[in-house]
């Protein structure tokens, strides 16, 4: 493959690629992101290859393994082009029918389609499904059309045209101005204006400057960056090359967390191909601009997502953050000006350059322009990755796109911003999603994790969970975080175990204040947020735990007991058989009783008791009723008594 | 691991001290753990104090200074899995294997680690054994799955 | 280096460019408590007890003076209700590890810190890092270093190096705010019983 030495040659190549692709030719796209892979898309892919060959259609049908489509709840997902027929939860057994019915006979298989839960109608086309219809997939949408391991696929959808435009038609200052005008704010958590960050580096006197892609996505429950890197790695390469041009950098790093092997693999393949084609390396597209980029793997530390800790790790040291009194865009990696931005931020850059800042600013709100990809997970019907314009209300995201809370349960709170964020309760659901709006409500945008919680979630336990996570991940350098969070963890754990006492909330608040004011880095200063937001909106739960030793959500193991209601138990023996601790006493026609000494509170009996009986209950804050006398435990069925 | 192999890995990264973490990741991945002698060799070849290497090897979760079991169990404790009951799965796994997160049993059969978010939140709670993902776990099923491993 | 004029606790102070607020204050005889600071070592910024309030461009914020650079017209306050509260809490958290440390006890008296506020912790290292940094930057022997992270972080002597270097040196011992007990203890232990992960591991 000869190098592409000019924008004109790039357009020639693109035309030639497109001319060899027939838009009407049937194409089976199969989502092969990590999540679908975990549900078996690998086997489905093999089956498709086999079946297509078997039915003699290898030359008439294209097969494309793409990145994540976003509707992770329903994977594995297949979309058949050009009709855009979307099938969900595909198993290898479905494949022969799909090939013979839909590909050959152009017939739709009803049972594999999405059913609208409100109207019960079957929906054929991907874009009409409510989950997708209400999104604005500017950045993420391309995932469904390209095979991440193929650079030609990326070129076919217009890839690298932004880079060509920037290098040949714009000066570095003009590129910078466009990004500034777009008001693009960092998508990694801080929400700092990207243009301003770039400008600081551009104006710094040093010759050597670095661009860094932060792909150390550590927030538990957030996997947008992973899906972008796995599914469309070239978009990030293009974005950071444009950024490098704007600030005058010639060397870049992509810091990918070690827990993302597929992302590392796909980015490395993309870099190699980009270098072959001449989009990376020396004299890119004949412009005279040089830029190389390397992948650096993380080694399992959440704190390395913090920008100064990441740079310290890049230098081959432990990920201990540094003070930010002099910002890292002035003195960063090896003391040089370094622009570090999140994966999603970089992915927005080619769009902004191609379509212009004016186009970009039409989306979003005054303070937060563009779109944001959220990972909508937890107690939600449609789990997955969603991209919405800033300004959409939380209510719309959770109900219109997310499909609401499953199992008929009531919504309780939505946690945004990961461990640095907070919980937003029901009364604030009309909140329009944006950086400043979320911060005002006591949370933050963070990297885009959106964990939905229902009536069964204990908010004290949520605070304990996050502090536990952060205590584990703290680098340990500064006292307020290392010692302060450690003490907070002890207190919160005691509260969930029923050992809380008067004065605990006040002490937690004091520790929070010190961590917020005096910690070395943002991990420490934002660590108290989950506690502070849950105590702000759910103080009654804390007080119930401390004063009444009661968990209102019936969740904290030490504070609940399981009890079989003798009035409802039908002695079906299911819970007795499933109990891993053999703690259920009873028999056929003998009402079951739980031996509290043996019970491990695993909750299996609660889950397996048939819903028409619903005999297993959880009790908290009061003693368990004593078992009824032996004689009353024998069930005599009315029908048998009449015989 | 032979010193030659360690030298090869170091040379592959141009003997740069800043590649220390990448070098250790490769040794960990090939050898499944980092023996002290390997750390000493890297310290000599990269001209980096052993204290720095020791700190790195204990700071980052990817490294193990002790041999690991035949089967690695990774339990996702990400927020989405947590909210769907991952703690109960952890309790069951601890009971069945007899070890806590970060430990390996005496037979070197199982090593248990908790991880934060495997990225398959729709399948929560998730347990990964030897890279194979088991989704929608319930405490009862967990014991059954683990019984199948020798 | 140019001269910079700033204000600390109401006093006009003159400092040179590149100085930290702590250096400027110490030069002017204004005392700010420190634990992890040593004039011959790079600033660490770990204990946070040297925290002060600064006003810049009309904004007030709290920064650690051992690292924060002096700036023209900077207004610094070394004591305030908030600063004192933070220092008190830092001391209480550290006293849980080393209640008998004279340095901590003196500061505790000044700030009203209660050594029994938190339950006694097992390890009496307060992670000021003075021993590790001294051995690295000044002696350049690296006989002692940190291991692990967060609340599990500890100091650890490398037995082979410590056996050769430490008995004749011992210069880190008087640096320890917890009076060298930790350093001596761990050193002796390391020399007598080397760590299990090294010797008993399978031969490769």
Does the distance separating the beta carbons of C161 and B50 come in below 8 Å?
yes
DSSP-derived 3-state class of residue A325: coil
Residue C201: list chain B partners with CB under 8 A.
35-36, 66-67
DSSP letter at A294? E
* Distance in Å, alpha carbon of B51 to nearest chain A alpha carbon: 11
Q: What totals of helices (H) and strands (E) does chain C contain, helices first? A: 7, 7
Tokens of A232: 């469309």
Q: What is the dihedral of CA A151, A155, A158, A163, to 10 degrees?
A: 70
Q: Write the CATH number for A470.
A: 1.20.1440.230
Residue C89: list chain A partners with CB under 8 A.
480, 484, 510-511, 514
Does the distance separating the beta carbons of B49 and C147 come in below 8 Å?
no
Does the distance separating the beta carbons of A38 and B123 come in below 8 Å?
yes
Whether A112 is in a domain gets the answer: yes
Residue A301: list chain C partners with CB under 8 A.
149
Does the distance separating the beta carbons of A299 and B61 come in below 8 Å?
yes
Q: Smallest Cβ distance to B121: which of A375, A415, A466?
A: A375
What sign has the CA pseudo-torsion B5, B9, B14, B19? negative
Task: Pick out chain A residues at pLDDT < 50.
Answer: 640-643
* Distance in Å, alpha carbon of A256 to nearest chain C alpha carbon: 21
Whether A366 is in a domain gets the answer: no
Is A166 found in the same domain as A119?
Answer: no
Best of B49, B75, B122, B146 to disrupt the A interface (most A CBs within 10 Å) is B122
- The verdict on A262 touching B (C-beta cutoff 8 Å) is no
Percent of chain C with pLDDT over 70: 89
Q: How many angstroms separate the CA atoms of A585 and A570, rounded?
A: 13
pLDDT the model gives residue C1 = 65
- The verdict on B98 touching A (C-beta cutoff 8 Å) is no
Q: Write the CATH number for A577.
A: 3.30.70.20
On whether the CB atoms of residues C11 and C33 are closer than 8 A, the answer is no
Does the distance separating the beta carbons of B78 and A220 come in below 8 Å?
yes
Is A529 found in the same domain as A390?
Answer: no
Q: Number of folded domains in chain A? A: 5
* Distance in Å, alpha carbon of A219 to nearest chain C alpha carbon: 18
Does the distance separating the beta carbons of A603 and B55 come in below 8 Å?
no
Q: How many angstroms separate the CA atoms of C86 and C52, rounded?
A: 10
Q: How many angstroms separate the CA atoms of A616 and A566, rounded?
A: 9
Whether A442 is in a domain gets the answer: yes
On whether the CB atoms of residues A58 and A72 are closer than 8 A, the answer is no
Q: How many angstroms separate the CA atoms of A337 and A157, rounded?
A: 34
Whether A134 is in a domain gets the answer: no
On whether the CB atoms of residues C164 and C153 are closer than 8 A, the answer is no
* Distance in Å, alpha carbon of C150 to nearest chain B alpha carbon: 9
Q: Is the pLDDT of residue C200 over 70?
A: no
- The verdict on A534 touching B (C-beta cutoff 8 Å) is no
- The verdict on C156 touching B (C-beta cutoff 8 Å) is yes
Give the range of the structural domain holding residue A467, as residue numbers without chain letter: 460-547
Q: Smallest Cβ distance to C48: which of A318, A476, A479?
A: A479
- The verdict on C61 touching A (C-beta cutoff 8 Å) is no
pLDDT the model gives residue A641 = 44
Does the distance separating the beta carbons of C51 and A479 come in below 8 Å?
no
Is A213 found in the same domain as A355?
Answer: yes
Q: Name the residue with tokens 């008998």.
A: C100
Is A464 found in the same domain as A392?
Answer: no
Is A465 found in the same domain as A451?
Answer: no
Q: How many angstroms separate the CA atoms of A60 and A57, rounded?
A: 5
- Domains plus CATH for chain C? 3-79 (3.10.20.740), 80-122 (no CATH), 130-203 (no CATH)
* Distance in Å, alpha carbon of C128 to nearest chain A alpha carbon: 9
Which of A457, A485, A508 lies at the terminal end of a domain, its last residue?
A457
Is A445 found in the same domain as A375?
Answer: yes
Which of A 288-347 lie inside 8 A of B, CB atoms?
Answer: 296-302, 313-319
Q: B59: nearest CA in chain C?
A: C148
Does the distance separating the beta carbons of C149 and A475 come in below 8 Å?
yes
pLDDT the model gives residue C52 = 97
Q: Write the CATH number for A42.
A: 3.40.30.10
Q: Is the pLDDT of residue C181 over 80?
A: no
Q: Smallest Cβ distance to A302: which of B25, B116, B139?
A: B116
Q: Write the CATH number for A174.
A: 3.40.50.11540
pLDDT the model gives residue A39 = 82
More confident residue, A111 or C164: A111
On whether the CB atoms of residues C201 and B67 are closer than 8 A, the answer is yes
Residue A301: list chain B partners with CB under 8 A.
59-61
Is A111 found in the same domain as A161?
Answer: no
* Distance in Å, alpha carbon of A178 to nearest chain C alpha carbon: 29
Q: How many CB atoms lie within 10 A of CB A626?
A: 7
- The verdict on A375 touching B (C-beta cutoff 8 Å) is yes
Q: Is the pLDDT of residue C204 over 80?
A: no
Mean of per-residue pLDDT scores for chain B:
89
Q: How many angstroms separate the CA atoms of A576 and A135, rounded?
A: 46
Check whether the bond before B125 is cis (ω within 30° of 0): yes
Q: Is the pLDDT of residue C7 over 90?
A: yes
Q: Is the pLDDT of residue B5 over 60?
A: yes
pLDDT the model gives residue C203 = 39
DSSP-derived 3-state class of residue A425: strand
Does the distance separating the beta carbons of C85 and A514 come in below 8 Å?
yes
Whether A473 is in a domain gets the answer: yes
Residue C155: list chain B partners with CB under 8 A.
none
Does the distance separating the beta carbons of C86 and A476 come in below 8 Å?
no
pLDDT the model gives residue C202 = 39
**pLDDT bucket at C39, cuts 50 / 70 / 90:** very high
Per-residue pLDDT tens over the stretch A91-150: 999 999 999 999 989 999 999 999 998 889 999 999 999 999 999 999 999 999 999 999
Q: B51: nearest CA in chain C?
A: C145
Is A625 found in the same domain as A587?
Answer: yes
pLDDT the model gives residue B2 = 87
Tokens of A509: 């608040």
pLDDT the model gives residue C182 = 63
Whether A132 is in a domain gets the answer: no
Q: Provide the phi-psi class of C193: left if phi over 0, else alpha when psi is between -120 and 50, else beta.
A: beta
Q: Smallest Cβ distance to B59: which of C144, C149, C156?
A: C149
Q: Smallest Cβ distance to C48: which of A475, A476, A518?
A: A518
Whether A130 is in a domain gets the answer: no
Which of A 579-608 lie inside 8 A of B, CB atoms?
Answer: 580, 600, 602-604, 607
Q: B1: nearest CA in chain C?
A: C204
- The interface predicted TM-score of the complex, written ipTM, equals 0.92
- The verdict on B79 touching A (C-beta cutoff 8 Å) is yes
Is A540 found in the same domain as A586?
Answer: no
- The verdict on A457 touching B (C-beta cutoff 8 Å) is yes
pLDDT the model gives residue A503 = 96
Whether A621 is in a domain gets the answer: yes
Per-residue pLDDT tens over the stretch A595-627: 999 998 888 899 899 989 999 999 999 999 988
Is A304 found in the same domain as A391?
Answer: no
Q: Is the pLDDT of residue C198 over 50?
A: no
Which of B 48-67 lie inside 8 A of A, CB atoms?
Answer: 48, 52, 55-56, 59-63
Is A464 found in the same domain as A452?
Answer: no
Which of A335, A361, A387 lies at the terminal end of a domain, its last residue?
A361
On whether the CB atoms of residues C126 and C29 are closer than 8 A, the answer is no
Q: How many angstroms separate the CA atoms of B63 and A485, rounded?
A: 25
Q: Write the CATH number for A405.
A: 3.10.20.600
Mean pLDDT in residue range C171-199: 70
Does the distance separating the beta carbons of B55 and C145 come in below 8 Å?
yes
Is A426 found in the same domain as A340?
Answer: no
DSSP-derived 3-state class of residue A64: strand
- The verdict on B96 touching A (C-beta cutoff 8 Å) is no
Q: Smallest Cβ distance to C142: which of B38, B49, B66?
A: B49
Q: C143: nearest CA in chain B?
A: B51
Which of A332, A361, A390 lies at the terminal end of a domain, its last residue?
A361
Instruction: Report the candidate in A438, A197, B41, A396 with the shortest Cα–Cα distance to residue C204.
Output: B41
Q: What is the dihedral of CA A139, A144, A150, A154, to 10 degrees?
A: -40
Does the distance separating the beta carbons of C82 and A478 come in below 8 Å?
no
Mean pLDDT in residue range B75-95: 87
What sign has the CA pseudo-torsion A236, A239, A243, A244? positive
For chain A, which chains pass the contact test of at least 3 CB pairs under 8 Å?
B, C
């Amino acid at each position: 493959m000869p190098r592409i030495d000019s924008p004109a040659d790039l357009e020639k190549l693109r035309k030639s690629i497109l001319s060899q692709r027939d838009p009407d030719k049937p194409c089976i796209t199969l989502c092969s992101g990590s999540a679908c892979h975990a549900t078996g898309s690998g086997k489905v892919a093999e089956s498709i290859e086999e079946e297509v060959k078997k039915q003699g259609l290898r030359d008439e049908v294209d097969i494309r393994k793409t990145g994540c489509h976003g509707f992770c709840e329903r994977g594995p997902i297949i979309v058949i082009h050009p009709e855009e027929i979307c099938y969900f939860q595909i198993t290898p057994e479905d494949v022969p029918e799909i090939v013979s019915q839909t590909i050959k006979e152009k017939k739709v298989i009803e049972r594999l389609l999405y059913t609208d839960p409100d109207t019960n109608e079957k929906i054929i086309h991907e874009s009409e499904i409510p989950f997708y219809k209400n999104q604005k997939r500017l950045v993420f949408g391309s995932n469904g059309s390209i095979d991440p391991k193929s650079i030609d696929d990326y070129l076919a959808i217009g890839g690298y045209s932004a880079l060509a435009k920037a290098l040949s038609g714009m000066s570095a200052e003009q590129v910078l101005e466009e990004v500034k005008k777009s008001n693009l704010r960092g998508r990694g958590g801080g929400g700092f204006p990207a243009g301003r960050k770039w400008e600081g580096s551009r104006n710094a006197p040093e010759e050597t400057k670095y661009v860094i892609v932060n792909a150390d996505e550590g927030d538990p429950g957030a996997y947008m960056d992973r899906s972008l890197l796995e599914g469309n790695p070239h978009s990030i390469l293009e974005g950071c090359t444009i950024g490098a041009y704007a600030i005058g950098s010639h060397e870049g790093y992509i810091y990918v967390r070690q827990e993302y092997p597929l992302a590392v693999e796909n980015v490395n393949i993309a870099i190699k191909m980009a270098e072959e084609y001449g989009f990376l390396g020396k004299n890119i597209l004949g412009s005279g601009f040089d830029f190389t980029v390397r992948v650096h793997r993380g080694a399992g530390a959440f704190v390395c997502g913090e920008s100064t800790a990441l740079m310290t790790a890049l230098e081959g040291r432990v990920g201990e953050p540094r003070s930010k009194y002099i910002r890292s865009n002035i003195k960063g990696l090896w003391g040089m000006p370094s622009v570090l931005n999140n994966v999603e931020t970089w992915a927005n850059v080619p769009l902004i350059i191609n379509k212009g800042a004016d186009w970009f600013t039409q989306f979003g709100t005054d303070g937060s322009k563009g779109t944001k990809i959220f990972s909508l997970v937890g107690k939600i019907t449609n789990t997955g990755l969603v991209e919405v314009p800033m300004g959409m209300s939380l209510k719309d995201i959770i109900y219109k796109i997310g499909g609401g809370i499953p199992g008929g349960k009531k919504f309780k709170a939505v946690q945004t911003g990961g461990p640095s964020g907070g919980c937003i309760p029901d009364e604030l659901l009309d909140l329009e999603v944006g950086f400043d709006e979320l911060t005002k409500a006591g949370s933050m945008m963070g990297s885009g994790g959106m964990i939905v919680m229902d009536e069964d979630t204990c908010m004290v336990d949520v605070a304990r969970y996050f502090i536990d996570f952060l205590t584990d991940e703290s680098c340990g350098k500064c006292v307020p975080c290392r010692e302060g969070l450690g003490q907070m963890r002890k207190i919160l754990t005691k509260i969930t175990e029923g050992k809380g006492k008067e004065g605990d909330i006040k002490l937690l608040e004091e520790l929070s204040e010190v961590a917020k004011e005096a910690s070395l880095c943002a991990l420490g200063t934002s660590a108290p947020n989950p506690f502070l937001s849950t105590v702000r909106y759910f103080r009654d739960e804390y007080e119930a735990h401390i004063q009444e030793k009661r968990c209102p959500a019936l969740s904290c193991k030490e504070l609940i007991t399981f009890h079989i209601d003798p009035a409802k138990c039908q002695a079906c023996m299911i819970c007795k058989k499933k109990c891993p601790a053999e703690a259920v006493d009873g028999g056929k026609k003998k009402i079951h009783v739980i031996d509290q000494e043996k019970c491990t509170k695993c909750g299996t009996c609660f889950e397996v008791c048939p819903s028409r009986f619903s005999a297993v209950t959880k009790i908290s804050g009061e003693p368990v009723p004593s078992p009824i006398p032996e004689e009353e435990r024998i069930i005599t069925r009315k029908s048998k008594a009449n015989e | 691991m032979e010193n030659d192999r360690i030298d090869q890995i170091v040379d592959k990264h141009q003997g740069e001290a800043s590649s220390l973490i990448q070098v250790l990741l490769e040794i960990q991945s090939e050898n499944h753990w980092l023996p002290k002698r390997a750390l000493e060799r890297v310290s000599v070849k990269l001209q980096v104090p052993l204290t720095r290497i020791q700190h790195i090897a204990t700071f980052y979760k990817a490294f193990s200074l002790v041999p690991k079991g035949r089967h690695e169990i990774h339990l996702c404790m990400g927020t989405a899995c947590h909210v769907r009951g991952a703690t109960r799965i952890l309790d069951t796994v601890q009971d069945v294997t007899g070890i806590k997160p970060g430990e390996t049993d005496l037979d070197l059969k199982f090593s248990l680690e908790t991880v934060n978010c495997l990225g398959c939140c729709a399948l929560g709670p998730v347990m990964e054994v030897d890279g194979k993902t088991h989704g929608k776990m319930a405490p009862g099923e967990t014991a059954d799955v683990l019984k199948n491993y020798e | 280096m140019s001269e910079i004029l700033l204000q600390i606790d109401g006093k006009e102070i003159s400092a040179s460019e590149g100085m930290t607020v702590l250096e400027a204050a110490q030069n002017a005889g204004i005392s700010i408590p420190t634990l992890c600071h040593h004039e011959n070592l790079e600033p660490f910024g770990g204990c946070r007890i040297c925290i002060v309030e600064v006003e810049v461009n009309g904004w007030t914020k709290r920064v650690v003076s051992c690292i924060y650079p002096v700036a023209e017209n900077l207004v610094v306050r070394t004591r305030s209700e908030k600063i004192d509260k933070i220092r008190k809490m830092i001391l209480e958290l550290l006293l849980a590890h080393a209640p008998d440390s004279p340095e901590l006890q003196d500061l505790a008296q000044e700030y009203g810190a209660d050594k029994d506020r938190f339950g006694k912790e097992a390890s009496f290292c307060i992670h000021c890092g003075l021993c590790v940094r001294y051995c690295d930057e000044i002696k350049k022997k690296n006989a002692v270093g940190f291991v692990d992270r967060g609340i599990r972080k500890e100091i650890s002597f490398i037995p082979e190096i410590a056996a050769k270097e430490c008995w004749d040196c011992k210069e880190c011992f008087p640096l320890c705010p917890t009076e060298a007990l930790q350093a001596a203890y761990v050193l002796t232990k390391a020399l007598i019983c080397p760590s299990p992960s090294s010797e008993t591991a399978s031969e490769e």
